[in-house]
Amino acid sequence: MQHLDIVRNKIVLELGAGCGLPSVLLRDVLGASSVVATDFWKENIDWTISDESRLIPDHWHGMNLKYNVEDICKIAQVEMLDWHDLDSLKSIQSKYFIDVVIGSDLIYYESDVEPLWQTLEILLEDVEEVILFSPLAHNLRKALPSFRTLLKEKADEERYKVKEEIFQLHGSDEDCIIKMSITKSY
């Protein structure tokens, strides 16, 4: 938790918020002044087709996230943001003055590595820091090596500073949390 002290009194955007647990923690425990939970889902879809690739069926994903995260005081809000379709990102950036971006357990598929980086690069134009966490056994996150290589390349180009910390969970390299922090180099 102490690693997230940086979010206190900050406007924080969460990428790939899922059911919203990290955003709820930001809102209720970690003292963020405002939270914008983002994820992607389809709207106006055929309710008779079930999408078993997602834990929450697509037609309920956004609704579930809003139910869990949004609050009456409007400290926490939900916005649709798909890393593969960044049209909505500009309007989110003009609506909220984001200080910090966080993301937890986002990197599964190779096809997401470049779009996720493009999303981060646009957000990094304005924000202080991006903090990503990859929990659980990192050998199960197939695209994680490519993403970490990409981050190293970006750090080598000296446009960004990347700091990686690895926290072992049960004394094993396989079972750990990787924290990746990205800031702009000035």
Ligand X SMILES: C[S@@+](CC[C@H](N)C(=O)[O-])C[C@H]1O[C@@H](n2cnc3c(N)ncnc32)[C@H](O)[C@@H]1O
Decide if residue 164 touches ligand X (CB under 6 A).
no
Contacts of ligand X in 109-128 (CB under 6 A): 112
Decide if residue 17 touches ligand X (CB under 6 A).
yes
Decide if residue 69 touches ligand X (CB under 6 A).
no
Q: Which is nearer to ligand X, 112 or 129 (CB)?
A: 112
Evaluate the CA torsion angle 137, 129, 6, 75 in order and state its sign. negative
Q: How far is CA 41 from the centre of its chain?
A: 15
Q: Give the number of residues in contact with ligand X, rule: CB under 6 A.
A: 15
Decide if residue 16 touches ligand X (CB under 6 A).
yes
Q: Report, in Å, the least distance between residue 48 CB and ligand X.
A: 21
Q: How far is CA 142 from the centre of its chain?
A: 17
Evaluate the CA torsion angle 177, 183, 185, 186 in order and state its sign. negative
Residue 48 is classified by DSSP as T
Q: Are 155 and 139 in contact (CB under 8 A)?
A: no
Q: How many angstroms separate the CA atoms of 131 and 164, rounded?
A: 10
Q: Which is nearer to ligand X, 105 or 164 (CB)?
A: 105
Beta strands 129-134; 160-168: pairing state: unpaired
Print the binding letters for residues 76-115 with ligand X: x by CB under 6 A, - otherwise.
Answer: -----xxxx-------------------xxx-----x---
Q: Where are the alpha helices (DSSP H) in the chain?
A: 21-28, 58-69, 87-95, 110-123, 144-156
Q: From the list 4, 7, 18, 147, which residue makes contact with ligand X (rule: CB under 6 A)?
A: 18
Binding segment toward ligand X, per CB under 6 A, in 12-20, 43-51, 69-77, 121-129: 12-20
Q: Report, in Å, the least distance between residue 83 CB and ligand X.
A: 4
Judged by the rule CB under 6 A, the positions of this chain that interact with ligand X are 16-18, 21-22, 39-40, 81-84, 104-106, 112
